């Protein structure tokens, strides 16, 4: 199962203790995943058609707990290269449907009120716990999160700009930096920062998934630190080797033209030490001097040798 599937499986088992939280989650699933129809006689019925067993199971459970309604269930099997299942849930008793729709603020007590499949009335999400439940229902309905081993990406795929603005505001109120992008006919609210995604998993009460996400994140960050150090040390080593090779070439040139005995004692000692220890870093090379000199002192001597070698090249000196 994918990481996103694991998150949804975990969320299926999370049911708010308070009825107002249960209603908030029912509201999200009803508005984002269900079809709500009104007959010409003013009666309503709710239908949820999905291939996702988790959301079907969750909606069935919420209707039972919050409204004591037992939804009708039908499982359909079809073959499309492999056997696939789809689920149909429905509530058609007029009074039961009306209770649900009024509770989630899809219709008002006014009999003439029209269906509003959008939370114009924010009463269902006034409390923070209800906002979390609403977000949980939305994720089950239209959300996904990528495997943290591959990338960091959380998204809700919505049908209208109004919904995308609503969820962007809701997520940003909790802290994570949510953004909107249009993808075909849909509007996607997404979060790409690892810290924000971890916070969203926690807000939705996917605590096990959040810990798994954090473990992967920590291991990746450790790996990145190790890689940066290895790359830095490799670069430094390459720089040291390149410098040592150039210094050796300069000293050989001096030796083959004017000779090392023509140098001052300090420079001659440095030159012979570099020829003898071509792989040593400056600090270690300085310890071979008598008396020992520091890294800066050794660097000064080798720079003088480099300047002499360049001068000899410029004047075409040949022994």
Any bridge partners for residue 88, and if so which? Answer: 49, 74
Spell out the residues 6+ positions from residue 266 whose beta carbon is closer than 8 angstroms to its own. Answer: 301
Any bridge partners for residue 89, and if so which? Answer: 48, 73
Predicted TM-score (pTM) of the model is 0.71
Tell me how far apart the alpha carbons of residues 104 and 294 are, in angstroms, rounded to a whole number. Answer: 77
**Tell me, what's the pLDDT at 319?**
46
| DSSP secondary structure string for all residues of 207-265 | HHHHHHHHHHHHHHHHHHHHHHHHHHHHHHHHHHHHHHHHHHHHHHHHHHHT-GGGS-H
Q: How far is CA 20 from the centre of its chain?
A: 31
Tell me how far apart the alpha carbons of residues 2 and 147 are, in angstroms, rounded to a whole number. Answer: 7
pLDDT digit of tens for each residue in the chain (319 aa)?
899 999 999 999 888 889 999 999 999 999 999 988 877 777 788 999 988 888 999 999 999 999 999 999 998 877 665 557 888 999 988 889 889 988 888 776 654 455 567 777 778 888 999 999 999 999 999 999 999 988 999 999 999 999 999 999 999 999 999 999 999 999 999 999 999 999 999 999 999 999 999 998 888 878 777 778 877 877 776 777 778 788 888 888 888 888 888 888 888 888 888 888 888 888 888 898 888 889 888 889 888 888 888 888 887 655 4
**Tell me, what's the pLDDT at 312?**
85
Q: What is the CA radius of gyration of the chain?
A: 35
Tokens of 67: 């409204």
Question: ∠ at Cα 121 (103, 159), nearest 5°?
Answer: 95
**Tell me, what's the pLDDT at 256?**
86
CB 103 within 8 A of CB 95: no
Tell me how far apart the alpha carbons of residues 36 and 44 are, in angstroms, rounded to a whole number. Answer: 7
Nearest to 157 by CA among 144, 174, 171: 144
Tell me how far apart the alpha carbons of residues 97 and 30 are, in angstroms, rounded to a whole number. Answer: 11
Tell me how far apart the alpha carbons of residues 127 and 118 are, in angstroms, rounded to a whole number. Answer: 18
**Tell me, what's the pLDDT at 115?**
59
Nearest to 145 by CA among 286, 10, 316, 22: 10
Asked whether the bond before 190 is cis by omega within 30 degrees of 0, the reply is no
For tokens 């049911």, what's the residue? 15
Tell me how far apart the alpha carbons of residues 312 and 63 are, in angstroms, rounded to a whole number. Answer: 92
| DSSP secondary structure string for all residues of 155-216 | EEEESSHHHHHHHHHHHHHHS---EEEEETTEEEEEE--HHHHHHHHHHTT-HHHHHHHHHH
Tell me how far apart the alpha carbons of residues 286 and 296 are, in angstroms, rounded to a whole number. Answer: 9
Helix H, strand E, coil C: the string for 72-140 is: EEEEEEEECCCEEEEEEEEECCHHHHHHHHHHCCCCCCCCCCCCCCCCCCHHHHCCHHHHHHHHHHHHH
**Tell me, what's the pLDDT at 317?**
56
Any bridge partners for residue 37, and if so which? Answer: 45
DSSP 3-state of 44:
strand
């Amino acid at each position: 199962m994918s990481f996103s599937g694991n998150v949804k499986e975990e969320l299926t088992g999370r049911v708010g203790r308070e009825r107002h939280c249960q209603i908030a989650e029912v509201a999200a699933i009803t508005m984002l995943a269900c079809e709500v129809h009104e007959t010409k006689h003013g009666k309503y019925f709710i239908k949820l058609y999905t291939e996702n067993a988790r959301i079907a199971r969750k909606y069935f459970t919420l209707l039972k707990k919050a409204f004591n309604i037992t939804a009708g269930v039908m499982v359909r099997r079809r073959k499309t290269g492999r056997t696939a299942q789809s689920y149909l849930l429905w509530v058609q008793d007029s009074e039961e449907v009306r209770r649900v729709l009024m509770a989630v603020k899809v219709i008002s007590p006014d009999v003439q009120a029209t269906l509003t499949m959008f939370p114009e009335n924010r009463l269902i999400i006034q409390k923070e716990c209800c906002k979390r439940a609403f977000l949980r229902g939305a994720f089950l309905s239209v959300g996904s999160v990528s495997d943290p081993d591959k990338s960091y990406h959380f998204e809700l795929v919505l049908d209208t700009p109004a919904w995308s603005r609503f969820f962007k505001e809701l997520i940003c109120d909790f802290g994570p930096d949510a953004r909107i992008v249009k993808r075909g006919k849909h509007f996607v609210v997404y979060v790409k920062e690892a810290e924000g995604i971890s916070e969203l998993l926690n807000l939705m009460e996917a605590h096990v998934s959040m810990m798994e996400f954090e473990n992967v994140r920590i291991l990746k960050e450790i790996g990145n630190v190790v890689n940066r150090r290895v790359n830095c040390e490799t670069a430094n080593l390459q720089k040291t080797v390149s410098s040592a090779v150039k210094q050796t070439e300069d000293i050989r040139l001096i030796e083959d033209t004017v000779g090392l005995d023509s140098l001052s004692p300090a420079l001659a000692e440095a030159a012979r030490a570099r020829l003898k220890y071509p792989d040593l870093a400056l600090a270690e090379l300085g310890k071979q001097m008598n008396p020992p000199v520091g890294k800066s002192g050794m660097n000064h001597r080798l720079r003088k040798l480099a300047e002499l070698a360049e001068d000899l090249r410029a004047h075409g000196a040949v022994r």
